[in-house]
């Protein structure tokens, strides 16, 4: 069975062309025959050009992982087209997806093969299946149409963008065996500590010859050990406040949270630290154990891209403490809308864990009328904002640093303060 179907244009040319021709003949009017002439000619040419071939179409399919704002392509190749044939390809747009060209593309097939490329750009993190693209082919006269079988849309995992963050501030509690942090104890490393007398087991290449020659005894250069820190990123996904317009537009609280978490994880992993993650309020993802390396970054970004805010409410505040030991640097990313997040911060601090609270509520919401539309909702939002300010002040008075996320460098000063403070002994409840 021929897979080509007549188009409205062919039907129009045939009906109008031959209809007018018959009318002209019946009425004996040459002018009507002349009106019919171009349409009848096109109808005959279109009928003569009816394709017999069955085209074959291939398109980009499967799963793809990209970063926010990264361009990727959708390509279709249609072969076995009739001479002069054309191919129309259309990829539907959707929220947080830019498509170029938005209305599809019409390309010629000079040698029976047509290739169409559509550029796509995901503007928000997350995992989603893109809408099904459509491909159709036409003969040279646009009289016959062949439609390809529906293509499955691409399964795209969009990882949050990790903008460069080059903080020089050290993490407060380095421990472990490798990393870029300078430990408090001497060991193998690169940071100079002192020149001391040689001891059995010291490496010969460590001998400090000027001092050894001057004193007559062997001396070596001692260094501080290079060690890593353990950082846990706590993601509050109980609420997503505000509208998200993708990476180029307005940000919701969850946008800021996820992107900030990605930037921080990238930063600490680049330094050789071990980074883990715990997500509250999202069904399906909860905890990623601490580890180091590029694979861990990918694991964390994958986890962040799966976050569906507000899908798991009412978690026990104690859950925040699980698998977190003293000496861990906990970075709590939260819009501080839910009182439960404040309780979690208090619990972690009392357990001797250094917590930095990073406020990810968009500035315009914190100072504006909020997401509500009615007067009552606006009033409720204002009351909640006042309570929130009070909670922030209480945390600050307890020595818990609260930083409003304005970009990666918001943390620099806080990390320096924590490092300085970690040198001072203090009591912690276990």
Q: Which is nearer to other proteins, 48 or 427 (CB)?
A: 48
Near other proteins by CB under 8 A: residue from 142, 327, 368, 371: 142
Instruction: Choose one: 6-14, 187-195, 280-288, 406-414; the region binding other proteins (CB under 8 A).
Output: 6-14
Select from 57, 81, 88, 300 the one that contacts other proteins (CB under 8 A): 88
Tell me the three state secondary structure of residue 9.
helix
Q: Looking at 265-388, which runs of residues are DSSP E strands? A: 274-280, 287-291, 329-334, 354-359
Contact between 104 and other proteins (CB under 8 A)?
A: yes
112 contacts other proteins (rule: CB under 8 A) = no
C-alpha to C-alpha distance for 128 and 122, rounded to whole angstroms:
10
Of 383, 320, 387, which is closest to residue 357 (Cα–Cα)?
320
Q: What is the per-residue DSSP string for 374-426?
A: SHHHHHHHHHHHHHHHHHHHHHHHTT--EEE-SSGGGGHHHHHHHHHHHTS--
Using CB under 8 A as the binding rule, whether residue 383 contacts other proteins is answered as no
From the CB of 57, what's the least distance to other proteins, in Å? 15
CB of 8 to other proteins, least distance (A): 5
Q: Cβ(104)–Cβ(89) under 8 Å? A: yes
**Contact with other proteins (CB under 8 A): which of 86, 154, 183, 329?**
86
What does the alpha-carbon distance between residue 331 and residue 414 come to, in Å, rounded to a whole number? 11
Among residues 80, 100, 302, 338, the one that binds other proteins under rule CB under 8 A: 100
Cβ atoms < 10 Å from Cβ of 1: 4
Site string for other proteins, 187-226 (x = CB under 8 A): ----------------------------------------
Q: Which two tokens stand for residue 85?
A: 């044939």
Helix (H) / strand (E) element for 16: namely: helix 8-27
- Here the tokens at position 406 are 């304005």
Instruction: Give min distance, CB of 151 to other proteins, in A.
Output: 16
Task: Please list, in sequence order, all residues whose beta carbon lies within 8 angstroms of the beta carbon of residue 127, skipping any fewer than 6 positions away.
Answer: 155, 156, 157, 158, 305, 306
Nearest to 21 by CA among 43, 46, 6: 43
Taking the complex as a whole, the smallest distance from the CB of residue 364 to other proteins amounts, in Å, to: 17
Going by the DSSP 8-state scheme, the letter that residue 160 receives in this structure is P
Which single residue is written with the structure tokens 């921080």?
264
Q: Is 386 in the site for other proteins (CB under 8 A)?
A: no
Q: How far is the CB of 372 from other proteins (least distance, A)?
A: 16
State which of positions 232-271 bind other proteins (CB under 8 A). Answer: 245, 249
Of residues 24-43, which lie at the interface with other proteins (CB under 8 A)?
A: 24-25, 27-43
User: Which member of 3, 6, 12, 352 binds other proteins (CB under 8 A)?
Assistant: 12
Q: Which is nearer to other proteins, 93 or 352 (CB)?
A: 93
From 101-109, 180-188, 266-274, 284-292, span contacting other proteins (CB under 8 A): 101-109
CA neighbor of 304 nearest in space, from 330, 279, 269, 334: 279
- Kindly state whether residue 93 participates in binding other proteins, applying the rule CB under 8 A: yes
Binding site for other proteins (CB under 8 A): 7-9, 11-13, 15-16, 19-21, 23-25, 27-45, 47-50, 52, 71, 84, 86, 88, 90, 93, 95, 98, 100-108, 110, 119, 121, 136, 138, 140-142, 245, 249
């Amino acid at each position: 069975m021929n897979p080509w179907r007549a188009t409205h244009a062919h039907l129009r040319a045939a009906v109008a062309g031959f209809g007018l021709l018959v009318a002209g003949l019946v009425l004996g009017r040459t002018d009507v025959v002349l009106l019919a002439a171009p349409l009848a000619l096109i109808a005959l040419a279109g009928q003569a050009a009816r394709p017999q071939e069955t085209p074959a179409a291939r398109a980009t399919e499967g799963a793809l992982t990209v970063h926010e704002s990264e361009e990727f392509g959708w390509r279709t190749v249609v072969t076995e087209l009739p001479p002069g044939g054309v191919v129309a390809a259309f990829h539907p747009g959707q929220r947080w997806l830019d498509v170029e060209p938005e209305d599809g593309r019409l390309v010629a097939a000079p040698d029976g093969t047509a290739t169409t490329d559509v550029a796509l750009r995901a503007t928000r993190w997350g995992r989603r299946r893109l809408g099904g693209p459509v491909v159709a082919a036409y003969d040279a006269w646009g009289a016959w149409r062949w439609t390809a079988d529906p293509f499955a849309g691409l399964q795209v995992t969009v990882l949050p963008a990790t903008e460069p963050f080059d903080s020089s501030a050290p993490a407060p509690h380095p421990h472990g065996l490798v990393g870029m942090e300078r430990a408090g104890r001497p060991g193998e490393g690169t940071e100079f500590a002192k020149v001391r007398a040689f001891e059995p087991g010291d490496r010969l290449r460590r001998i400090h010859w000027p001092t050894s020659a001057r004193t007559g005894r062997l001396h070596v250069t001692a260094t501080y050990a290079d060690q890593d820190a353990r950082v846990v990123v706590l993601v509050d996904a109980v609420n997503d406040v505000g509208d998200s317009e993708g990476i180029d537009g307005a940000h919701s609280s969850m946008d800021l949270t996820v992107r900030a978490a990605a930037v921080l994880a990238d930063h600490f992993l680049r330094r050789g630290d071990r980074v883990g993650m715990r997500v509250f309020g999202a069904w399906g993802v909860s905890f990623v154990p601490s580890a180091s390396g590029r694979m861990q970054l990918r694991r964390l970004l994958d986890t962040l891209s799966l976050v569906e805010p507000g899908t798991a409410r009412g978690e026990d505040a104690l859950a925040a403490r699980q698998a977190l030991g003293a000496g861990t640097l906990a970075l709590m990313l939260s819009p501080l809308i839910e009182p439960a997040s404040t309780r979690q911060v208090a619990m972690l601090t009392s357990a001797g864990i250094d917590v930095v609270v990073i406020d990810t509520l968009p500035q315009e919401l914190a100072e504006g009328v909020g997401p509500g539309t009615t007067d009552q909702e606006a009033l409720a939002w204002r009351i909640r904002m006042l309570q929130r300010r009070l909670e922030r002040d209480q945390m600050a008075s307890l020595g818990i640093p609260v930083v409003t996320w304005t970009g990666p460098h918001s943390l620099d000063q806080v990390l320096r303060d924590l490092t300085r403070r970690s040198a001072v002994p203090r009591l912690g409840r276990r």
